[in-house]
């Protein structure tokens, strides 16, 4: 019985956004990364090819984090001591891009120093994120933005509370912003409107709709991303931005990943569970529309890389 | 332990009272006979009951709405301060409720329904009766004498009267020297032989002499009364007055909670009955008559107001699953309710639909006629709650959303009611950011009322002082925009331009409050339409009722996304549709029946039931809306401002 | 296609013109016909509750309400599991109803079957107060295509059955083998796997005889539709379909196509789908995809608790009703490593409220205890208005979560919106200091810095 495969006909398209400037564009990166451009729901390749392979970015910190799981400390070892060696290790582990996450302890000088060190150590396209406290983010990111002028960084976290400062510095120095909103379609759209109202070209916005990890609200992030992708395909211009999610950050916050003792026996082997936690969360979010996933563990990166290859192969 | 509290009022009067440890200052003041206004019902929300502690031992539970500076100066909230020792307290001048209720202006607009004829439309009738004087030969009792006369002279086979009427009947018959005027109500329009006597008056009267009746709307904030002559059907006077329950809380929830406290129910009932009596007197005075001439009253009002009026416990209205005690209240006599009308005047409270969609809305539907048209009509009645009805002759859907009192000027730092001194309209110059204002009464401003707030937000938005999220843009070249601990604010009037000597400003928190209020209402529209598979574009007529409808500027209300962006000719402003509905029911029994039918046909939708409301709400929590496509004319206005 | 509330309304007495004499009669227990129609559209009531609906309307409504994906139930002696009856493509449109059953595969040739199965069968894990387990087992014949020994298969099935009372999936391509296995399960409803282009007749006859659902397998939709169609000709109705792909890209495409077709009432594919994630390169990722993207049954290679736990949680998350207000588990939450002298802030368990408060305090860097009270998932004002957030409930939470044991200074901060509760709370908690905080979360940091700093 011949079955007519129902194909969706969408009018909208996610914007193509590129970050990381090569020498030709006035930067020092070995390549630019392009994300977005989708004209269908994720991996519906019988309708149209998925234009760009999703990006695996790795999270590194400006100074050795004290609250990371020992599983992560074991795997990254001394590379965690300084951002430059961490960047190299991440590149060696197969990262497509790097996310340098600054901390509350950093001064603007520290932030600039760390950024420059990472830019020198690895030629991968770079995103730089503030610690997530509005005033501190403004202070650090403006300094980083100026110091790395022309590198086409992605600056985060750009929220409703500080978007004016971050967007202004991104505009002045040729960077992109990662627009973060707390798991809500409307809020995501509103922030995009506010940012574009300031005059930042739309192809310099990546949205981070945030997510919870598996067991910690993943379903909200999952549905918000599905809805944002649907809205963008339906032609809603203020949702047509590629999405990134900081999965590693969320998944490794979960007790399931973070600790190996004092947990129920039914949770099974710690290390395998922790990797599953990051991997399963990532899988679900890739399939709901993430173009960039920011991970923490090299083993998860490997498994996600293989999964992405299978998804792209269809 | 007992403490001595010395209150000094603004006129220099000193009153001493004694109070136990732990007594609230507000309670101590009440016991001492000192009135302290508590618009939020003593919830510590509004900050209006601020008093100054000049000495002694008083503990503040909450200093909400007081600045650090004010606290240092000894200010405290009377409703949130506990007496712990002797104390001296200064009571500042209390805000007066002095709005000029201008309803008389529009009296002419209400026309009598065409074809009104007391003999066809009315169950209330009047006849003159002449009886033979009793004698030793004719020992018929007074009541039988009247009954016989009514049967013989007016074909009234069965008549009933209350015991209270019988108590005064003998005197009336003798005072009138056996010629009296009887006012009665037919059981129904089809049966002219059975009636209930309302009043017997000791004289014969002319046919065209008025028979007075009242149409009443009890709003949470305002009570309106129309005095109607049933002979001609004309509205003879329109009066309105603040609901005296306000001092016990501004919103229905506060009143319900107050009513469930010791004696609260009686207090609230007395207050609203008192308000109605006062209105009755004012209206009657104007027509040189007396309230005891009022023979019938039809009352509309939200479900809580009706419950409180009737002294029915209202607690279940507030608690899930939000059930009223009664949606179709029985008929009452004025004397049973303490109304100073004719003692046997029939008081008919109109039926409601649900806890938050009451008789004010069923009456509103009747008066706007949406139940009798093919056109899809959206009716909103905005008061402290916003009620929304969508439908036509086939179906009627309704919901209520809690907008909060922001549009009535409460919950906003410099907000106030629409009384003298309120800024009611604002224009802001897009180049200098300087405002022009219009103040009620033309004096120096004291605050901003609801319509002023709507126009202020719209202007701030269009001039770029606010971004679409309601953030104040602090980088503008004007001193009027300034930073505070709680985000930016915009100064509308400098201290030396105001009547109280303080800057009048709107803060980020105020803007948030207003955005939430408007988002709740807009989300209500959206969800209601969505539930029946429609969009707002399908709406053919938009009817706006409530005092809101009379004062607000549609263009500005659209610009902030409070009202949907529709062609202006789709909007109809009907003012108080509730009292109008009560009036129609009063002059035409068939219309009264129609309200019952409307009430039974309306389908109530509980908005809090799922996440779709929250979604629509967040979407509307933006200027004018997250989905700009829904506001094309606002988009255009923004564009043209930009070009300029 | 399902009718909307207003379309249904027009078929009911209240929607008739001229009015039906029984319009809005309330006899169904619902105030109006419109309200009934909307509940009917939401599948919250049965049409039978309306005594006056016309026969004609009944027929129309029945047509529109047939489920696009047939409900399939597998029954073991101890439990059963359902799949199907789904009505949407995206969970936010409505919700996903029947959680896909997670089955652990057992090979007939495997050693220690009963012991292995018993281990998995006993597995129980708790997630936010709910206990999750494995849903059943798939018993697979030695060689899927060849001629496996029916007796051996039957023995394996018996061994499995001796260790579990959960439903089973019997996997073999030889009808005789399956029949032998099924004979060991009297009175049960196992899933028979499965029919393909080669064996469909024999399998169909067996399924008919056993009155059990039959899985049909093919690597393309044309063949699948063809098979269910032919088998329907044999009088069968209950199918499960296996699009037989092990690669993620092909699976997501096919599973989506099947769901879309089913929702468009393409009956030949209107059945639950089974995923053999156990045959994929990365079982965990394949199973995660199957759970999110439309599988009705998922078969795992073996019992691995650390993976199973993750998948059970994912399934619970994806199948959570998105229309229900999001709630946070009531309790005492630590923000920025609070110390005994840190303040106790109070809020409700509506997630948005909780996140607003938690984020503000977290962002301020100030340590605090956040007491989340059970207010039935309502925001502070709504809960207060509805009587779900009062001094009694707050006092109960403070006592119930033993907050006093965590702090040295007994001081709680009420949300400003419920300042009115401070007096009653003082009475409930005489040894506590009751403070009234700001009304909005955004003002909390400022309040904590100034007002609480004494």
Q: Does B61 touch chain C (CB under 8 A)?
A: yes
Express each pLDDT in C390-402 by its tens digit.
899 999 999 999 9
Express each pLDDT in B546-597 by its tens digit.
766 556 778 889 999 999 998 888 888 887 889 999 999 999 989 999 999 9
What distance in Å separates the CA atoms of residue A117 and residue A87, rounded to the nearest whole number? 9
Residue A59 Cα to chain centre, angstroms: 9
What distance in Å separates the CA atoms of residue B554 and residue B559, rounded to the nearest whole number? 8
What distance in Å separates the CA atoms of residue C412 and residue C432, rounded to the nearest whole number? 7
- Predicted confidence at residue C154, as pLDDT, reads 94
Q: Give the pLDDT mean for C253-273.
A: 95
Q: Which of B42, B54, B52, B32 is nearest to B80 (CA)?
A: B42
**Which residues from chain C sit within 8 angstroms of residue B394, using beta carbons?**
9, 15, 17
Q: Beta-strand (E) ranges in chain A?
A: 17-19, 33-35, 55-61, 97-101, 126-129, 154-158, 176-180, 205-208, 243-245, 290-295
Residue B601 CA: distances (Å) to CA of B362, B425, B482, C33? 10, 40, 53, 8
Nearest-Cα residue of chain A relative to residue B617: A186
Q: Sheet holding B222-229: strands in order across?
A: B234-242, B222-229, B212-218, B294-301, B346-349, B332-333
Q: Considering the domain B2-91 in this protein, what is its CATH number?
A: 3.10.20.30
**Which residues from chain A sit within 8 angstroms of residue B467, using beta carbons?**
194, 197
Q: Give the pLDDT mean for B108-121.
A: 78
**Which residues from chain B sit within 8 angstroms of residue C94, using beta carbons?**
none
Residue A208 CA: distances (Å) to CA of A179, A196, A221, B549? 6, 16, 10, 42
Express each pLDDT in C70-114 by its tens digit.
999 999 999 999 999 999 999 999 899 999 999 999 999 888 999
Question: Who among A264, A288, A313 is closest to C247 (CB)?
Answer: A313
What distance in Å separates the CA atoms of residue C170 and residue C213, rounded to the nearest whole number? 11
What distance in Å separates the CA atoms of residue B453 and residue A310, rounded to the nearest whole number? 57
Nearest-Cα residue of chain B relative to residue A224: B615
Contact across the interface for B468 and A190, Cβ inside 8 Å = yes
Q: Which of A29, A89, A33, A34 is nearest to A61 (CA)?
A: A89
Q: Give the pLDDT mean for A124-141.
A: 93
At residue C147 the predicted structure's pLDDT band, cuts being 50, 70 and 90, is low
Contact across the interface for A186 and B468, Cβ inside 8 Å = no
Please say whether the beta carbons of B402 and B385 come within 8 A: yes
At residue B105 the predicted structure's pLDDT band, cuts being 50, 70 and 90, is very low
Q: Give the pLDDT mean for B263-283.
A: 94
Residue B398 Cα to chain centre, angstroms: 19
Express each pLDDT in A280-305 by its tens digit.
999 999 999 999 999 999 999 999 99
The answer for residues whose C-beta is within 8 angstroms of residue A139's C-beta and 6 or more apart is A108
Planar angle of CA B450, B451, B454, nearest 5 degrees: 90
Exposed (0-12), middle (13-18) or buried (19+): which is B138, by Cβ within 10 Å?
A: exposed
Cβ contacts from B onto C, under 8 A: 113
Confirm whether A8 is domain-assigned.
no
At residue B284 the predicted structure's pLDDT band, cuts being 50, 70 and 90, is very high
What distance in Å separates the CA atoms of residue A170 and residue B509, rounded to the nearest whole number? 29
Out of B336-345, C199-208, C349-358, pick the least confident.
Answer: C349-358
- Predicted confidence at residue B349, as pLDDT, reads 97
- Model confidence at B257: pLDDT above 50: yes
Percent of chain B at pLDDT above 70?
93
Question: Who among A43, A215, A226 is closest to C313 (CB)?
Answer: A215
Question: Who among B468, B618, B619 is closest to A197 (CB)?
Answer: B468
Percentage helix, strand, coil, to 5, in chain C? 40, 15, 40
At residue B295 the predicted structure's pLDDT band, cuts being 50, 70 and 90, is very high
- Predicted confidence at residue B602, as pLDDT, reads 92
Question: Who among A160, A186, A236 is closest to B618 (CB)?
Answer: A186
Q: Does A311 touch chain C (CB under 8 A)?
A: yes
Average model confidence (pLDDT) for chain B?
87
Contact across the interface for C4 and B62, Cβ inside 8 Å = no
Superfamily of domain B212-349: Domain of unknown function (DUF4445) (3.30.420.480)
Q: Which of B21, B44, B489 should one mutate to test binding to chain C, selecting the residue with the greatest count of C CBs within 10 A?
A: B44
Q: Give the pLDDT mean for B34-53.
A: 72
What distance in Å separates the CA atoms of residue C150 and residue C169, rounded to the nearest whole number? 16
Express each pLDDT in B11-40 by its tens digit.
888 888 888 888 888 888 877 888 777 655
- More confident: B342 or A262: B342
At residue C212 the predicted structure's pLDDT band, cuts being 50, 70 and 90, is very high
Range of A96-100, B379-383, C262-266 with top mean pLDDT: A96-100
Q: How many domains is chain A partitioned into structurally?
A: 1
CATH number, domain of A271, equals 3.20.20.20
The answer for residues whose C-beta is within 8 angstroms of residue A24's C-beta and 6 or more apart is none
Q: Does B402 touch chain C (CB under 8 A)?
A: yes
Q: Give the pLDDT mean for C311-335.
A: 90
Q: Does A48 touch chain C (CB under 8 A)?
A: no
Contact across the interface for C252 and A283, Cβ inside 8 Å = no
- What are B98-103's contacts with CB under 8 Å, separation 24+? B98/B419, B98/B420, B99/B242, B99/B417, B99/B418, B99/B419, B99/B420, B100/B419, B100/B420, B101/B222, B101/B239, B101/B240, B101/B241, B103/B224, B103/B238, B103/B239, B103/B240, B103/B576
Express each pLDDT in B160-177 by its tens digit.
999 999 999 999 999 999
Confirm whether A5 is domain-assigned.
no
Q: Does B618 touch chain C (CB under 8 A)?
A: no
- Predicted confidence at residue B141, as pLDDT, reads 95
- Predicted confidence at residue C260, as pLDDT, reads 96
Q: Does C221 touch chain A (CB under 8 A)?
A: yes
Which phi and psi angles does A39 have, rounded to 5°?
-120, 5
C-alpha distance from C324 to closest chain B C-alpha (Å)? 6
Full domain range(s) for residue A176:
17-313
Residue A226 Cα to chain centre, angstroms: 17
Is domain B103-201 in CATH 3.40.50.720, yes or no? no
Bridging pattern class, strands B541-545 and B504-507: unpaired
Express each pLDDT in B462-520 by its tens digit.
999 999 999 999 989 999 999 987 779 999 999 999 998 999 999 988 998 899 889 99
Contact across the interface for A215 and C256, Cβ inside 8 Å = no
What distance in Å separates the CA atoms of residue A126 and residue A97, rounded to the nearest whole number? 6
- Predicted confidence at residue C454, as pLDDT, reads 55
Element (H, E) at B199: strand B191-201
C-alpha distance from B175 to closest chain C C-alpha (Å)? 52
- ipTM above threshold 0.90: yes
Q: Which of C285, C246, C274 is nearest to A284 (CA)?
A: C285
Q: Sheet holding B504-507: strands in order across?
A: B481-484, B487-493, B504-507
- Name the segment(s) of chain B with CATH classification 3.10.20.880: 103-201
- Name the segment(s) of chain B with CATH classification 3.10.20.30: 2-91
What distance in Å separates the CA atoms of residue C371 and residue A27, rounded to the nearest whole number? 50
Residue ranges of domains in chain C, CATH in brackets: 5-65 (1.10.15.40), 72-318 (3.20.20.20), 331-449 (3.40.50.11600)
Contact across the interface for A194 and B468, Cβ inside 8 Å = yes
**Which residues from chain A sit within 8 angstroms of residue B485, using beta carbons?**
none
At residue B413 the predicted structure's pLDDT band, cuts being 50, 70 and 90, is confident
Contact across the interface for C31 and B604, Cβ inside 8 Å = yes
């Amino acid at each position: 019985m011949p079955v007519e495969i129902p194909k969706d006909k969408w009018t909208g398209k996610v914007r193509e956004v590129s970050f990381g400037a090569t020498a030709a564009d006035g930067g020092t990166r070995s390549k630019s990364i392009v994300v977005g451009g989708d004209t269908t729901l994720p991996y519906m390749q019988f309708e149209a090819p998925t234009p760009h392979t999703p990006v695996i970015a790795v999270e590194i910190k400006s100074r050795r984090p004290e609250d990371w799981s020992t599983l992560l400390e074991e795997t990254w070892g001394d590379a965690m001591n300084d951002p430059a060696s961490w960047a190299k290790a991440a590149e060696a582990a197969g990262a497509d891009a790097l996310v340098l996450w600054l901390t509350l302890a950093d001064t603007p000088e520290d932030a600039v120093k760390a950024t420059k060190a990472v830019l020198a150590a690895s030629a991968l396209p770079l995103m730089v994120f503030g610690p997530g406290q509005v005033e501190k983010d403004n202070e650090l990111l403006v300094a980083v933005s100026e110091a790395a002028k022309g590198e086409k960084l992605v600056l985060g976290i750009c929220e409703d509370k500080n978007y004016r400062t971050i967007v202004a510095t991104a505009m002045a120095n040729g960077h992109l912003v990662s627009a973060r909103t707390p798991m809500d379609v409307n809020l995501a759209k509103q922030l995009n409107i506010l940012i574009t109202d300031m005059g930042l070209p739309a192809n310099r916005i990546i949205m981070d709709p945030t997510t919870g990890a598996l067991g910690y609200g993943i379903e909200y992030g999952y549905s918000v991303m599905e809805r944002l992708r649907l809205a963008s395909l339906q032609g809603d211009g203020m949702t047509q931005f590629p999405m990134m999610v900081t999965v590693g950050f969320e998944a490794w916050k979960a007790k399931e990943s973070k600790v190996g003792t004092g947990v129920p026996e039914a949770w099974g082997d710690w290390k395998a569970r922790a990797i599953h936690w990051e991997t399963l969360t990532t899988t679900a979010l890739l399939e709901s529309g993430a173009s960039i996933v920011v991970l923490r563990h090299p083993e998860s990166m490997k498994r996600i890389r293989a999964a992405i290859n299978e998804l792209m192969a269809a | 332990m007992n403490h001595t509290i010395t209150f000094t009022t603004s006129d220099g009067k000193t009153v001493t009272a004694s109070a136990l440890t732990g007594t609230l200052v507000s309670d101590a003041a009440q016991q001492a006979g000192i009135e302290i206004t508590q618009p939020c019902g003593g919830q510590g929300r509004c900050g209006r009951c601020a008093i100054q502690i000049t000495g002694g031992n008083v503990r503040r539970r909450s200093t909400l709405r007081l600045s650090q500076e004010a606290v240092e100066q000894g200010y405290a909230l009377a409703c949130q301060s506990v007496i712990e020792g002797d104390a001296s307290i200064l009571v500042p001048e209390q805000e007066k409720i002095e709005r000029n209720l201008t309803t008389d202006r529009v009296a002419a607009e209400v026309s009598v329904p065409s074809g009104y004829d007391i003999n066809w439309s009315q169950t209330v009738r009047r006849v003159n009766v002449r009886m033979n004087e009793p004698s030793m030969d004719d020992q018929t009792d007074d009541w039988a004498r009247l009954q016989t006369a009514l049967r013989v002279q007016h074909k009234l086979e069965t008549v009933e009267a209350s015991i209270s009427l019988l108590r005064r009947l003998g005197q009336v018959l003798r005072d009138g020297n056996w010629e009296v005027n009887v006012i009665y109500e037919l059981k129904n329009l089809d049966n002219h032989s059975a009636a209930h006597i309302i009043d017997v008056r000791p004289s014969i009267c002319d046919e065209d002499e008025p028979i007075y009746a009242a149409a009443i709307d009890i709003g949470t904030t305002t009570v309106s009364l129309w005095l109607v002559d049933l002979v001609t059907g004309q509205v003879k006077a329109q009066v309105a007055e603040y609901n005296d329950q306000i001092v016990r809380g501004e919103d229905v929830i506060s009143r319900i909670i107050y009513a469930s406290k010791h004696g609260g129910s009686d207090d609230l009932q007395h207050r609203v009955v008192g308000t109605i009596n006062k209105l009755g007197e004012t209206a009657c005075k104007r027509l040189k008559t007396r309230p005891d001439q009022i023979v019938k009253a039809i009352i509309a009002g939200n479900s809580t107001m009706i419950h409180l009026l009737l002294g029915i416990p209202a607690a279940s209205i507030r608690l899930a699953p939000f059930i009223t005690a009664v949606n179709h209240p029985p008929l009452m006599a004025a004397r049973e309710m303490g109304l100073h009308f004719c003692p046997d005047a029939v008081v008919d409270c109109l039926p409601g639909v649900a806890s938050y969609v009451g008789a004010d809305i069923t009456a509103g539907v009747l008066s706007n006629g949406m139940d009798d048209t093919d056109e899809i009509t959206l009716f909103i009645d905005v008061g402290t709650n916003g009620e929304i009805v969508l439908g036509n002759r086939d179906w009627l859907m309704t919901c209520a959303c809690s907008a909060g009192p922001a549009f009535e000027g409460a919950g906003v730092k410099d907000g106030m009611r629409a009384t003298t001194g309120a800024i009611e309209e604002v224009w802001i110059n897009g180049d200098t950011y300087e405002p022009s204002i219009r103040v009620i009464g033309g004096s120096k401003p004291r605050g901003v009322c609801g319509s002023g707030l709507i126009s202020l937000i719209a202007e701030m938005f269009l001039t770029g002082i606010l971004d679409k999220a309601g953030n104040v843009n602090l980088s503008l070249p004007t001193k009027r925009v300034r930073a505070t601990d709680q985000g930016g604010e915009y100064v509308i009037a400098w201290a030396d331009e105001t009547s109280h000597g303080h800057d009048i400003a709107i803060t980020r928190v105020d803007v948030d409050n207003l955005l939430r209020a408007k988002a709740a209402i807009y989300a209500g529209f959206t969800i209601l339409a969505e539930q029946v598979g429609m969009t707002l574009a399908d709406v053919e007529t938009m009817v706006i009722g409530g005092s809101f409808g009379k004062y607000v500027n549609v263009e500005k209300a659209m610009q902030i996304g409070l009202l949907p962006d529709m062609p202006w000719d789709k909007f109809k402003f009907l003012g108080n549709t509730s009292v109008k509905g009560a009036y129609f029911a009063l002059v035409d029994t068939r219309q009264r029946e129609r309200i019952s039918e409307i009430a039974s046909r309306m389908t109530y939708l509980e908005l809090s039931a799922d996440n779709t409301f929250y979604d629509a709400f967040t979407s509307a929590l933006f200027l004018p809306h997250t989905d700009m496509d829904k506001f094309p004319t606002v988009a255009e206005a923004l564009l043209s401002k930009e070009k300029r | 296609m399902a009718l909307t509330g207003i379309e249904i309304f027009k078929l009911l007495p209240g929607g008739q013109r001229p009015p039906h004499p029984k319009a809005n009669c309330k006899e169904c227990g619902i105030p109006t016909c419109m309200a009934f129609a909307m509940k009917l559209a939401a599948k919250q009531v049965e049409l039978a509750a309306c005594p006056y609906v016309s026969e004609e309307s009944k027929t129309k409504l029945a047509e529109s309400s047939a489920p696009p994906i047939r409900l399939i139930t597998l029954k073991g002696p101890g439990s059963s599991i359902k799949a199907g009856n789904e009505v949407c493509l995206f969970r936010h449109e409505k919700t996903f109803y029947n959680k896909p059953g997670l089955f652990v595969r057992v090979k007939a040739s495997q050693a220690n079957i009963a012991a292995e199965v018993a281990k998995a069968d006993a597995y129980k894990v708790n997630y936010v107060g709910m206990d999750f387990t494995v849903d059943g087992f798939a018993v697979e014949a030695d060689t899927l295509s060849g001629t496996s020994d029916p007796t051996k298969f039957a023995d394996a099935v018996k061994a499995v059955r001796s260790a579990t009372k959960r439903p089973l999936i019997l996997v073999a391509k030889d009808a005789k083998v399956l029949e032998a296995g099924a004979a060991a399960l009297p009175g049960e409803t196992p899933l028979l796997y499965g029919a393909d282009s080669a064996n469909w007749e024999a399998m169909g006859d067996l399924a008919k005889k056993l009155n059990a659902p039959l899985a049909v397998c093919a690597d393309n939709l044309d063949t699948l539709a063809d098979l269910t169609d032919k088998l329907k000709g044999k009088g069968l109705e209950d199918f499960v379909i296996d699009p037989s792909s092990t690669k993620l890209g092909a699976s997501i495409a096919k599973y989506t196509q099947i769901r879309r077709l089913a929702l468009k009432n393409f009956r030949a594919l209107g059945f639950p789908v089974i995923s053999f994630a156990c045959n994929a390169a990365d079982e965990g990722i394949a199973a995660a995809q199957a759970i999110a993207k439309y599988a009705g049954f998922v078969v795992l290679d073996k019992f691995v608790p650390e993976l199973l736990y993750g998948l059970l949680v994912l399934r619970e998350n994806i199948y959570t009703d998105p229309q229900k207000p999001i709630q946070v588990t009531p309790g005492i939450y630590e923000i920025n490593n609070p110390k005994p002298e840190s303040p106790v802030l109070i809020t409700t368990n509506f997630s948005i409220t909780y996140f607003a408060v938690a984020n503000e305090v977290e962002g301020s860097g100030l340590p605090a205890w956040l007491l989340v009270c059970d207010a039935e998932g309502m925001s502070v004002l709504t809960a207060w208005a509805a009587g779900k957030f009062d001094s009694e409930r707050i006092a109960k939470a403070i006592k119930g979560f033993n907050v006093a044991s965590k702090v040295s200074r007994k001081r709680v901060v009420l949300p400003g919106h419920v300042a009115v509760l401070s007096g009653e709370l003082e009475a409930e908690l005489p040894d506590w200091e009751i403070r009234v905080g700001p009304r909005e979360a955004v003002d909390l940091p400022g309040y904590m810095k100034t007002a609480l700093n004494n």
